Structure 1
């Protein structure tokens, strides 16, 4: 009888033991062409499932990341900026023909969101001031080096000495200075927190009433806030205006600022800035709850569409409202009248600023207090504002849009009477400022 050999590939299966023959047939079936094809299809299907799972996870991760705090700059993403830097200044002594060098030590700067200057406590900035008509004066000046590509033209720096406010002309037009902030100094060179009359000046109107008629940066004092610096408009409409918002270009971005940034303020008093909701509330609330006057000015229109633009590239619009806002616990709720003066809005119930924004809480990209199902501060880059369901005004939106679309920084003008006139203003420059009525 033939000996069975499982390794013999040429063996006749019919002559084998049934168990051995079944085993051989099983092995052949496992590695048949049909089986290999089925296995290949299975592997491809599993690979597709894995790939789809990875893509789904990536999309979910991107969605959750967008829901946190997006940060996109407006025009110049490389521009860094800070609120306030502190510095130490030497004593200034000058005569008619002397040039005095002031050396300012740059400190650790205040970080805003993801933007801050690089820390370098040992950097020294030397500024030259032509002091032509001032005797020996003890003063303090805070300067912050700007990284902006452009340079400032000749301007005036307001310096607060121990007695009177002195105006010093900046002689060099190639200086790159971002913020120049005066301080009150006592005779020892330290901050004076005593009951000095100067420390009780609460706004630019009080300074104007004392005879200060030059536009510039001054220091005021408010309870619960302390001393801080403000830009004063001492000439427009009888003067005494404390500027709370100013935009002149897109170097300082506004649209994607957070709640804390709008609360504390950001930007540079010499260019574009938002003073801060806490300070704005203090300025509005200091008159025993009586409203102050808000003045809004728009200069120039970047809008280029033929149909729904003002067609006034060098136009000028202004308006005044009675104004007040709540504190942070009240979400800085806005209270305004209808327009009291100006050509920026109708002085009736058709006033769209009053109609859409009065009684509304402040909304930012990370704190949504509007009625819109999304977030108006994020929607179309409207930025932080007293949004309703987005509405007709967004002066903190993304700068530089030239279309007649309801997006970015804009003001929608409508007269509400025949003949109906409606158009979008994409302002080149804006100012918002407050003044006490008393």
Structure 2
């Protein structure tokens, strides 16, 4: 029996080596978001101590890091994330393509730890959103929307925080700026997403008499989101990416991203503090 177990372990190791993967590359808590044939695409897989986020990785590389997959460690264990380095070291926490093959109609447990393919359409996970944004640095949220004509709109919320699971991953947002409309904190009746708890098809935390995550459009449920009653924005409905006037069933968007990085305001304050220390 021991010989058989050893042979199976040896065969598994051989398969990993053939795929260009070693046991060292597998140390990530969310490897279910990364197919085995993409393990060798993780750019910093040899690092013993991964950076906290993509922006820290960019700073460690003196601004030379490329877009791609990286190990980061916002909590106790490393995770794999896609880093948008050319745009300033954003950690991508969500990506969706209209009519995506990835199903966003998922359970609370799946939204907690993530699903999809981190190199494509995916949700990184509410637990990791919490780990990333809980500090000590202050973080901001970036929302990127692209229509079929490749016209891109961007919005930022600073600061951005996702509370822990005990608080139902409640969303906390600061001031908005950008070329897109403010679809999350604009104080319209029934559509204020700021300060809302997260809702999934099996965990109803919204302010509507029905579960907003279950409501369908063209046969597709809404998916998990920080609903009010119900939505002025929803980037997890895969048949229609919804962001008020920017993306809707009349004005279709092709892609959407949600990304996080440390606040520019915090970096400005730190920079001023450093200059004071030098005086």
* TM-score, structure 1 as length reference: 0.48
The one of 211, 216, 220 equivalent to 2:72 is: 220
Shift of 1:223: 3.0
Q: Residues 58-108 of structure 1: CA distance to partner in whole angstroms, max 9, x if unpaired? A: xxxxxxxxxxxxxxxxxxxxxxxxxxxxx9666xxxxxxxxxxxx328xxx
Shift of 1:318: 1.1
- State the alpha-carbon separation in 2 of the partners of residues 318 and 216 from structure 1: 20
Conservation of the 8 A alpha-carbon contact between 1:413 and 1:423: no
Conservation of the 8 A alpha-carbon contact between 1:139 and 1:160: no
Report runs of 4+ in structure 1 exceeding 4 Å deviation. Answer: 87-90, 126-129, 346-355, 422-425
Conservation of the 8 A alpha-carbon contact between 1:139 and 1:161: yes
Residue 378 (structure 1) aligns with: 214
SS in 1 for 2:206: coil
Shift of 1:206: 0.6
Matches within 5 A, 1:162-311: 162=46, 198-199=49-50, 201-211=51-61, 212-224=64-76, 226-236=77-87, 239-248=88-97, 250-254=100-104, 256-287=105-136, 290=138, 292-301=139-148
* TM-score, structure 2 as length reference: 0.74
* Stretches of structure 1 lacking an aligned partner (at least 5 in a row): 1-86, 91-102, 106-125, 130-136, 147-151, 163-183, 185-195, 302-312, 402-408, 415-421
Conservation of the 8 A alpha-carbon contact between 1:245 and 1:272: yes
Conservation of the 8 A alpha-carbon contact between 2:233 and 2:244: yes
Say if 1:260 and 1:338 are closer, same or farther in 2 by CA, change over 3 A: same
- State the alpha-carbon separation in 1 of the partners of residues 154 and 190 from structure 2: 15
The one of 42, 67, 79 equivalent to 1:158 is: 42
Conservation of the 8 A alpha-carbon contact between 1:338 and 1:347: no
Conservation of the 8 A alpha-carbon contact between 1:259 and 1:365: yes
Residue 7 (structure 2) aligns with: none
1:360 aligns with 2:196: yes
- State the alpha-carbon separation in 2 of the partners of residues 344 and 351 from structure 1: 16
1:413 aligns with 2:245: yes
- State the alpha-carbon separation in 2 of the partners of residues 230 and 252 from structure 1: 17
- State the alpha-carbon separation in 2 of the partners of residues 138 and 367 from structure 1: 37
Larger radius of gyration, structure 1 or 2? 1
Q: Which has the higher helix share?
A: 2
| RMSD, matched Cα | 3.4
SS in 2 for 1:222: coil
Higher relative contact order (CA 8 A, sep 6+): 2
- State the alpha-carbon separation in 2 of the partners of residues 347 and 338 from structure 1: 12
* Stretches of structure 2 lacking an aligned partner (at least 5 in a row): 1-10, 268-279
- State the alpha-carbon separation in 1 of the partners of residues 65 and 212 from structure 2: 40
- State the alpha-carbon separation in 1 of the partners of residues 193 and 72 from structure 2: 29
Shift of 1:356: 1.2
- State the alpha-carbon separation in 2 of the partners of residues 231 and 88 from structure 1: 27
Residue 276 (structure 2) aligns with: none
1:337 aligns with 2:169: no
